[in-house]
Amino acid sequence: MMHGNALAFAVTAGIVLAVVLIGFLAGRDKEARSSVEEWSVGGRRLGSLFVWFLVGADVYTAYTFLGLTSSAYSGGSIAFFATPYVVLAYPMAYFFLPKLWRVAKEHGYMTLADYVGGRFDSKLLSFLVAITGVLMLIPYIDLQLSGILDTLQVAGAGLVNVKLIVIVSFLLVALYTFFSGLKAPTYTAIIKDILVWVVMLFLVVSLPILHFGGWGQMVLAVATQHPKLLVLPASGPKGILWFSTAALISAMALFMWPHTATGTFSSKSADILKKNAIVLPLYNIVLMLVTFLGILAFMVVPQGTNPRLAFLTLIHDSYGGFTQGLAYATIALASLVPCSIMAIGASNLFANNIYRDWIQPDASPKRLTLVTRSMVFVVIGLALLFGLAFPTALVSLQLMGVSGIVQTFPAVVLSLYVRNLPKEAVTGGLLAGLATVFYLYASHNAHGAYEGFWGLLVNLAVIAVLTPLFIGRARQRTNAVMKSLFGGRSEQSRAQQPNIA
């Protein structure tokens, strides 16, 4: 039975506690919590470097490393769907994020649901986008809980009460997020991402050398002994069709998540978002090579190892205590820092698009700020309870989360470019897409494709069918957001334009 290394655990705990302290210090200026805008999007003042680290912290979490290595350990090359997904995601973001940012900046929006509500003059559609974001994000936060739980099970086995340490860690994150707002994950993300680059590249270089003498020998050993690990299945529940649709849907979903929207709206200019869309794919270097280490783990760690622990077991069996501690701390921070940003995103949605719009419309700015900040404890508390109660359901729920959150893509992205898009059609499409996703996950039969792919097809089909029925209303509708997007054309001049809806 594996036993934790005391030095490794001490190094891990020391680094994590130091980063948590930095999170608290980031908010020592009261301005960080003076308003919802300051607390949740940093007053929209973040420059290129901060946005780089913040969005990197959003996207490259503990699940990115542990989940993908686990998938590679279990299924081989199918885990590499994450590489084309990121390649696809950032070119999309290059075009639509700057446009979305400009509208959000002009109208003071802090969530995607804010934008959708203003674009369509619909509190109902705004609510649906908000509740979808919150419900789909809770399992994602749970996966960060799972990441640190798995890390501590290896690092602290036999040394500490692992569940107690996890609960304390997440409560500390909730406290520093409540206290410091977006400044906390922004500053801590810098440390987390530097560790990701340094430590993960070290692992990528050294592990193949330690066990096989180098990358060439490792790939040759895999190709000789287990060639199927290097080939995508042509058919089956996770074949080429699943690989392709999973990459596409994950790419479309990436910037629909509440926490990535938070990172987007915190930027001080649209040009910064364009620059980051160009350079953020550099993370793919680490992502692709670390995923390959899951296949290395299959070759090295004892058979029967829990796939979730395969990468951590590989680290445990390959290095001394100090190096183990650095690696464990990197993965732990890749759990805790994104958790903070996710909690801010979910709290924003609840406070702005559920509490303010439906429960207390006349809430003062001061009260709204307090409600937004306090929701961090509710969000993280729910994630803790659910994650500790149903640990085996987390990965499947997060995959359903991707399929669910992508159903908001037409409401957000399509509406940036298509003027005559009826809110009735978009609402119907969103509900139909979500219903399809839930049905497919319940029936366990997606015919070899990613469930979110079928959901999005149904979503778009419903929009196409309903649009002609409500196109007249859409042509008559105008508001400040639509003027920002499409200009102030008159109805007569619009009538002379070709109908693209």
CA gyration radius, the chain: 23
280's CB contacts (< 8 A; 6+ apart) are: 52, 55, 56, 59, 90
Q: In this model, does residue 494 exceed pLDDT 90? A: no
**Other C-beta atoms lying within 10 Å of the C-beta of residue 209:** 12
Q: Which of 50-64, 116-130, 197-211, 287-301 has the lowest mean pLDDT?
A: 50-64
pLDDT for 178 beyond 50: yes
3-class DSSP assignment, residue 448: coil
Q: Tell me, what DSSP letter sits at residue 45? A: -
Using a 10 angstrom Cβ sphere, with 0-12 exposed, 13-18 middle and 19 or more buried, the burial of residue 447 is: exposed
CA–CA gap between residue 262 and residue 111 (Å, rounded) = 7
Listed range (38-42, 43-47, 160-164, 317-321) with the worst mean pLDDT: 160-164
Asked if residue 311 belongs to a domain, the reply is yes
Q: What is the per-residue pLDDT across 240-263, written as a single tens digit (0 to 9) for each?
A: 999 999 999 999 999 999 999 998
Residue 230's domain comprises 6-390
Q: How many CA atoms lie within 13 A of 22 on its CB side?
A: 17
pLDDT at 29 over 90: no
Q: Kindly report, residue by residue over 358-383, the tens digit of the pLDDT.
A: 999 888 989 999 999 999 999 888 88
Asked if the structure places residue 194 within a domain, the reply is yes
Tell me the pLDDT band of 166, cut-offs 50, 70 and 90. confident
Tell me the pLDDT band of 146, cut-offs 50, 70 and 90.
Answer: confident
Grade residue 489 by pLDDT with cuts at 50, 70 and 90: low
pLDDT reported for residue 335:
86
How far are the Cα atoms of 265, 438, 483, 485 from residue 106, in angstroms, in the given order?
11, 36, 11, 11
> How many domains, the chain?
1
d(CA 181, CA 164): 25
pLDDT for 33 = 83
Report yes or no on 469 lying in a domain: no
Backbone angles phi, psi at 450, to 5 degrees: -75, 135
Residue 316 has pLDDT above 80, yes or no: yes
CATH value at residue 242: 1.20.1730.10
Residue whose token pair is 């789909």: 136
What is the percent of the chain where pLDDT is above 90? 53
Tell me how far the alpha carbon of residue 462 is from its chain's centroid: 27
Question: Residue 375: how many CA atoms within 13 Å on its side-chain side?
Answer: 26
Question: Both tokens of residue 383?
Answer: 């994630």
Q: What's the pLDDT score for residue 328?
A: 92
What are the structure tokens assigned to 459, written together? 């979503």
CB atoms within 10 A of CB 442: 9
Q: Does 426 fall in a domain?
A: no
Say if CB 55 and CB 189 are below 8 A apart: no
pTM for this entry: 0.90
- 76-99 average pLDDT score: 92
Rounded distance, CA 360 to CA 326, Å? 47
Mean per-residue pLDDT over the chain, rounded: 88
Report pLDDT for 501.
36
pLDDT value at residue 34:
84
pLDDT band at 54 (very low <50, low <70, confident <90, very high): confident
Residue 161 lies in a domain: yes
Band the pLDDT of 405: cuts 50, 70, 90: very high
Reported as a pLDDT band with limits 50, 70 and 90, residue 391 is low
d(CA 325, CA 318): 12
User: Does the pLDDT at position 162 exceed 90?
Assistant: no
Phi/psi-derived region of residue 444, left when phi > 0, alpha when psi is between -120 and 50, beta in every other case: left
Instruction: Judge whether residue 390 has pLDDT over 90.
Output: no
382 domain-assigned = yes
Question: For 468-473, what is the mean pLDDT?
Answer: 95
316 within domain boundaries: yes
* 234 lies in some domain: yes
What digits encode the pLDDT tens for the residues 422-468? Answer: 999 999 999 999 999 999 988 888 888 999 999 999 999 999 999 99
Name the pLDDT band for 409 (thresholds 50, 70, 90). Answer: very high
> What three-state secondary structure class fits 417?
helix
pLDDT at 497: 46
Least confident of 127-136, 153-162, 457-466: 153-162
Q: Which segments within 181-282 are labelled E, that is strand?
A: none
